Amino acid sequence: MKLILLGAPGAGKGTVAKLLTKLDDSVQISTGDILRSAVAAGTELGKQAQSAMRAGDLVSDDLIMSIMEERLQEDDCKSGYLLDGFPRTIPQAEALKKLLDRMGEKLDAAVEIDVARDVILERLTTRRTCTGCGAIYNIKSNPTKIDGVCDKCGESVVQRDDENEKAISNRLNVYNDQTAPLVSFYKNEGLLLSINATSSDTVINIIKEKIN
Distances (CA, A) of 6 to 47, 141, 170: 26, 23, 18
CB half-sphere exposure, 126, CA atoms < 13 A? 13
134 in contact with ligand ADP (CB under 6 A): no
Assess whether 102 carries a catalytic annotation.
Answer: no
Q: Binding residue for ligand ADP (CB under 6 A) from 15, 26, 28, 31?
A: 31
Under rule CB under 5 A, which residues in 161-190 are in contact with Zn ion? none
Stretch that binds ligand ADP, among 37-45, 51-59, 95-103, 186-194 (CB under 6 A): 51-59
Identify which of residues 184 and 208 has a Cβ nearer to ligand ADP in the complex.
184
Stretch that binds ligand ADP, among 53-61, 72-80, 97-105, 140-148 (CB under 6 A): 53-61
Assess whether 54 carries a catalytic annotation.
Answer: no
Assess whether 71 carries a catalytic annotation.
Answer: no
103 in contact with Zn ion (CB under 5 A): no
**Among the listed residues 3, 27, 72, the one whose alpha carbon sits nearest the alpha carbon of residue 211:** 3
User: H helices of 72-161, where?
Assistant: 90-103, 117-126
Assess whether 13 carries a catalytic annotation.
Answer: yes
Angle at the Cα of 201 (from 200 to 202), degrees rounded to 5?
90
130, 150 contact by CB (below 8 A): yes
Least CB distance to ligand ADP at residue 109 (A): 18
Give the count of beta carbons closer than 10 Å to the beta carbon of residue 181: 12
Assess whether 160 carries a catalytic annotation.
Answer: yes
**Among the listed residues 32, 13, 3, 27, the one whose alpha carbon sits nearest the alpha carbon of residue 100:** 3
How far is residue 151's CA from residue 195's CA, in Å, rounded to a whole number? Answer: 30
What residues line the site for ligand ADP (CB under 6 A)?
A: 9, 31-32, 35, 52-53, 56-59, 64, 85-88, 92, 162, 171
Query: Which residues form the catalytic set?
Result: 13, 88, 127, 160, 171
What residues line the site for Zn ion (CB under 5 A)?
A: 130, 132-133, 135, 150, 152-153, 155
